[in-house]
Structure 1
Amino acid sequence: MSVSRRHPRRDEYERLREQGVARRRAAQQVGVNERTAKDWDWGVRKTGSSRTYPDGRRVDYNTGVTTQVPPSLTALDRELHPRFLTLAERETIADMRRVGQSLHAIGRAIGRPASTIKREIDNHASADGVYRAYAAHRAWTASRPRPKDRKLLRDGRLRDFVVARLRQRWSPQQICNALVREHPDDQEMRVSAETIYQALYVQARGALKREVATALRTGRTRRRPHRRPDQRTPRFVDNMVMISERPAEVADRAVPGHWEGDLIMGAGNASAIVTLVERTTRYVMLGHLPGGHTAEEVRDVLVDLVATLPAHLRGSLTWDQGAEMAAHKQFTVATGIPVYFCDPHSPWQRGSNENTNGLLRQYFPKGTDLSVHGPADLEHVAQELNGRPRQTLGWDNPAERLRDLLTTT
């Protein structure tokens, strides 16, 4: 028989609540999420991916399946916040009421105001005026949930806005921040990123089912825990200037013009696309590799890409230790741009580029032939990415940030 373990911070949280501290502040003080604090207040139990509500509903948030747990005395009398009447207290009310005790006497016996006792009896007494503890407790338990219609289940401007941005491959977080920007005075045009994820993952059968396959960059219809990305193995070790020798101005992103680069590979590593990301603006440039990705081919594409940049945006290039950069010295001679190499197994040292490559996989899925995408296709994808608002840019987009650099310098 398994024993439910009490959260180690719950006692401190309940002590704060008894002192009248607001839920959000109490949750912050003990270091738990506000949703967890709300569950404690309302008697919701969380087990794995499911949540069991006081009325007996159990909801699995991976599958969206709701089941009804048979009621039991244990379920009815499970641990609640002290401000709620327990089954034992209701039994005391019923017993003392039966022998004619006053509301004040009952209140003193259980440590509650007389007004609480009166409200309890008024709300849960039967038609013949008899107060029964078990019936009252069941009725109260069933009345606690206050279900509301899901925002994105209802047709209207909000749902249309969300669906339109999902079709443009915006993330839920980008969408909810765009709502604030575009509708600053309309509180009806508000939805959280989590609500959008819930609509896609949980209520997808009836809410946004058609958008699931293309809306999220992962293409998944079920959530998966975040895991560390697969690590690369080094393939190029000679004559490299390591990232540790890169100027400090590159690391803090204070000066624009420093780039991170990589290749995204097609089916069987037979095709590839060059990806460049500017570290300050997150501006993306894509290079076409129709025939292969040898060091000479990659060198020539990189030279052509950076040739379109003004001199003050040609600071440096950071790459991993891939063999495709064997001609890095020739690239530096042709462009004047130094190349710095990341440490082995350290993709986070090119974090902006790694993130961008993840975004690009929505357009260029793994295991597909990338040679079918011509320069015009790559330019279209780059423009779409550069037009998306980014949290790290204060919800500006990379194209706006690069435009500002070009017009103010």
Structure 2
Amino acid sequence: MTSKEHPLTQEATRRVAGGERVIDVAEKLGIHPSTIYLALKRRGLPVGAGAPHRVLNPQTNRHIPNNPERPTTTEAVARVARGERVITVAKELGIHPSTIYLALKRRGLPVGAGAPHRVLNPQTNRHIPNNPERPTTTEAVARVARGERVITVAKELGIHPSTIYLALKRRGLPTSVPTPPADNDYGHHDQGTTPTPTTTVITSPGTTTQVPKTSDTTNELSSRTADDVTADFSLVPNTRIKTGRGVRLSSNDRLAIAQGIHEGLSTRAIGKKLGRHHSVIAREIARGSTRYTDPATTTVKKLVYNPQTAHYHAQQQARRPKVRILDHPSRLRDVVVEYLLRKFSPKRVEQRLQLDYPNDMSMHISHEAIYQSLYIQGRGSLREVIEEELRQRDMDPSKVLIRGGRSRKPRSKIAGLRNRRGWVVGAEITTRPPEADDRRVPGHWEGDLVIGAGGQSALLTLVERSSRFTLLKHLPDDHASSTVVGALQEMIASMPGKFSTITWDQGSEMASARKVIDPQVCGVYFCDPHSPWQRPTNENTNGEIRRRFYPKGTDFREVTAEHMAWVQDELNDTPRLVLGALTPYEKMNEVLTVATTQ
């Protein structure tokens, strides 16, 4: 013990060593429990499972408080030991059921299936309450035993069908009625006759079964009538479950569909009776029909709609969660990961896959599925794969996706007002040729500077309006007017005949542009003050450069010309949604080809 230890800490340590609980001592003395634990560790006293204030249950390995048991807990344990249910005793005494279970475990009394208050049905392995059966349940069992239908009795007595089934199982009575062979098959749409095969193949969703021919295979395989199948659906509530924008078909809806097929009604007539669209009925019949195939000719012998089978498979299809398409390694996953590592947005990935693999549906995926794989799934998801790859490439693993661009502020009140900058007069954007506005004709560019850290260096960007083709120029030393205009002249000379106009803001770096650049080669025009939306393509491209490659504060003096050339190629090889997932390279070639042929 050190001489600087607080007296309260010394008192707490002494009391805990005597057997009191840390949390109780901390509350009484008004200090944090961690202070007591640190003091215990300094003295070498046990603070874990072996501490005198820590008593663990050997079955659950959880802490058992050593404070005296409350009288209500003692009474609850006694009542449960006599056979009462834990939940009933807890409600009557006003305590939590977990308190009773812990007390039972401390005494070594059974709390599971072998407990006196726990009676399990051997068929369903579910708990059966030992409270006295209600008179309505007794009456219902008696009526069903005499031959009445479960669903009818449940409706008349106002109880749930499952209550009657559980009571029948407790008594060992049968819960299903054997179905006699049906003479007519209400699901048989084809009125023609078909030779009887020696073996019949039953194909349902996910299963294919071969049944040997016995005395009468056709009757054995035929579907039941609507009246016969109703008893099998009495356990399913007659409610339509709302899901998304629509409502799922209930079991009784499927019975009505089967009865309508038996009566020869059309899908429109069945839909009108159910209050559903006829396409819903048609899709349900197509999904829920069982095909009986003749193995000799591999032709469909019968197409039967069985409501019980259809309802079962619908429930299986609705189960969640399902295995996602990007959960396991595949060619699609490899391509998606590669695109995401190139900082493509999920929407760009979706459209590019549709463009690259138009006929291969296994290579298509929605952008929402990619987002879910990145942000919703747990360990082993797509996000971990990308983060590990980013670490191997010495990149920030936290920036899996680039953020979206910020919305622009409202239009400035001084936008469009007359200014006194001499280099702008006579070259306002209103004087620009009208063909530059509709993006149909190539050769019209937008430009600006991306300023580096401290305003010492810059990156010159030019973007072609129709194809979004981007040109970058490295300005590591300065961005004076002479430097910027000289760089523009070099870029125009590198692509002769491809420049018609350049639209810039009113920055002073373009003060000498109109004096140097020949207007017959390329016209230079300027936006209104504080009106960046008049150069939207260049503004969006500069934002993407900031988000993907050069964040704000980048010193372009430290960036090599080779890396900037790679960034230019990467921008021009990125699919754009506005171009229908084409890249600027592809769009530029397409635009130039059309312009050449016209």
Q: TM-score range with shorter-chain normalisation?
A: 0.5 to 0.7
**Quick check: 2:340–2:401 contact (8 Å CA) kept in 1?**
no
C-alpha distance in structure 2 between counterparts of 1:154 and 1:392, whole Å? 32
Tell me the equivalent position of 2:568.
382
Tell me the equivalent position of 1:280.
466
Instruction: Note the C-alpha offset of 1:237.
Output: 5.3
Which of 359, 369, 384 matches 1:209? 384
Give the direction of change, closer, same or farther, for the CA distance of 1:344–1:149 in structure 2 (3 Å limit): farther
* 1:192-236 residue CA offsets vs partner (Å, 9 max, x unmatched): 1122223233447542235259699997469978642479999x8
- In the alignment, structure 1 residue 243 sits paired with structure 2 residue 243: no
C-alpha distance in structure 1 between counterparts of 2:582 and 2:403, whole Å? 29
Tell me the equivalent position of 1:150.
324
* 1:359-378 residue CA offsets vs partner (Å, 9 max, x unmatched): 22222222121123333332
- In the alignment, structure 1 residue 292 sits paired with structure 2 residue 475: no
Mean CA deviation greater in 283-292 or 152-161: 152-161
- In the alignment, structure 1 residue 392 sits paired with structure 2 residue 578: yes
- The equivalences for 1:7-406 within 5 A come to 100=140, 103-104=151-152, 128=170, 146-203=320-377, 206-207=380-381, 208-211=383-386, 220=399, 227-229=406-408, 238-239=421-422, 240=424, 241-311=427-497, 313-333=498-518, 336-361=521-546, 362-406=548-592
Instruction: Note the C-alpha offset of 1:331.
Output: 4.1
Q: Counterpart of 2:477 in structure 1: which amino acid?
A: G
Structure with more relative contact order (C-alpha pairs < 8 Å, separation 6 or more)? 1
C-alpha distance in structure 1 between counterparts of 2:485 and 2:474, whole Å? 12
Give the direction of change, closer, same or farther, for the CA distance of 1:286–1:107 in structure 2 (3 Å limit): farther
Give the direction of change, closer, same or farther, for the CA distance of 1:223–1:407 in structure 2 (3 Å limit): closer
C-alpha distance in structure 2 between counterparts of 1:96 and 1:379, whole Å? 83
**Quick check: 1:201–1:221 contact (8 Å CA) kept in 2?**
no
Instruction: Note the C-alpha offset of 1:156.
Output: 1.6
Provide structure 1 residue ranges, at least 5 long, that are not aligned to the other structure.
1-93, 111-116
**Quick check: 1:283–1:399 contact (8 Å CA) kept in 2?**
yes
* 1:275-324 residue CA offsets vs partner (Å, 9 max, x unmatched): 0000011111111212111111111101110112232x221111122222
Aligned length, in residue pairs? 303
Mean CA deviation greater in 334-343 or 255-264: 334-343
* 1:318-365 residue CA offsets vs partner (Å, 9 max, x unmatched): 112222222232243377322222233332221111111122222222
- For the pair shown, which has the larger CA radius of gyration, 1 or 2? 2
Give the secondary structure class of the aligned counterpart of 1:333.
coil
Give the direction of change, closer, same or farther, for the CA distance of 1:314–1:182 in structure 2 (3 Å limit): closer
Give the direction of change, closer, same or farther, for the CA distance of 1:221–1:401 in structure 2 (3 Å limit): closer
C-alpha distance in structure 2 between counterparts of 1:340 and 1:279, whole Å? 14
C-alpha distance in structure 1 between counterparts of 2:558 and 2:167, whole Å? 74
* 1:163-185 residue CA offsets vs partner (Å, 9 max, x unmatched): 11222332222222222233333
C-alpha distance in structure 1 between counterparts of 2:589 and 2:336, whole Å? 28
Tell me the C-alpha RMSD between the 2 structures: 4.3
**Quick check: 1:299–1:331 contact (8 Å CA) kept in 2?**
yes
Give the direction of change, closer, same or farther, for the CA distance of 1:299–1:225 in structure 2 (3 Å limit): closer
Give the secondary structure class of the aligned counterpart of 2:473.
strand
**Quick check: 2:346–2:371 contact (8 Å CA) kept in 1?**
yes
C-alpha distance in structure 1 between counterparts of 2:576 and 2:534, whole Å? 20
Provide structure 2 residue ranges, at least 5 long, that are not aligned to the other structure.
1-133, 144-148, 176-234, 243-314
Give the direction of change, closer, same or farther, for the CA distance of 1:257–1:330 in structure 2 (3 Å limit): same
C-alpha distance in structure 2 between counterparts of 1:122 and 1:177, whole Å? 55
Give the direction of change, closer, same or farther, for the CA distance of 1:343–1:99 in structure 2 (3 Å limit): farther
Tell me the equivalent position of 1:75.
none
Structure 2 length as normaliser, TM-score?
0.44
Give the direction of change, closer, same or farther, for the CA distance of 1:126–1:383 in structure 2 (3 Å limit): farther
Q: Counterpart of 1:263 in structure 2: which amino acid?
A: L
Q: Counterpart of 1:291 in structure 2: which amino acid?
A: D
Give the secondary structure class of the aligned counterpart of 1:196.
helix
C-alpha distance in structure 2 between counterparts of 1:330 and 1:218, whole Å? 48
Give the direction of change, closer, same or farther, for the CA distance of 1:186–1:401 in structure 2 (3 Å limit): closer
Instruction: Note the C-alpha offset of 1:126.
Output: 9.2
C-alpha distance in structure 1 between counterparts of 2:540 and 2:431, whole Å? 23
Q: Counterpart of 1:299 in structure 2: which amino acid?
A: V
Tell me the equivalent position of 1:83.
none
C-alpha distance in structure 1 between counterparts of 2:163 and 2:332, whole Å? 43
Tell me the equivalent position of 2:206.
none
Q: Counterpart of 1:238 in structure 2: which amino acid?
A: R
**Quick check: 1:276–1:284 contact (8 Å CA) kept in 2?**
yes
Give the secondary structure class of the aligned counterpart of 1:318.
strand
Same amino acid, percent of matched pairs: 37
Instruction: Note the C-alpha offset of 1:269.
Output: 1.9
Tell me the equivalent position of 2:207.
none
Tell me the equivalent position of 2:90.
none
Tell me the equivalent position of 2:131.
none
C-alpha distance in structure 2 between counterparts of 1:167 and 1:232, whole Å? 36
Mean CA deviation greater in 290-299 or 385-394: 385-394
Q: Counterpart of 2:454 in structure 1: which amino acid?
A: G
Q: Counterpart of 2:407 in structure 1: which amino acid?
A: R
Give the direction of change, closer, same or farther, for the CA distance of 1:136–1:287 in structure 2 (3 Å limit): same
Q: Counterpart of 1:400 in structure 2: which amino acid?
A: E
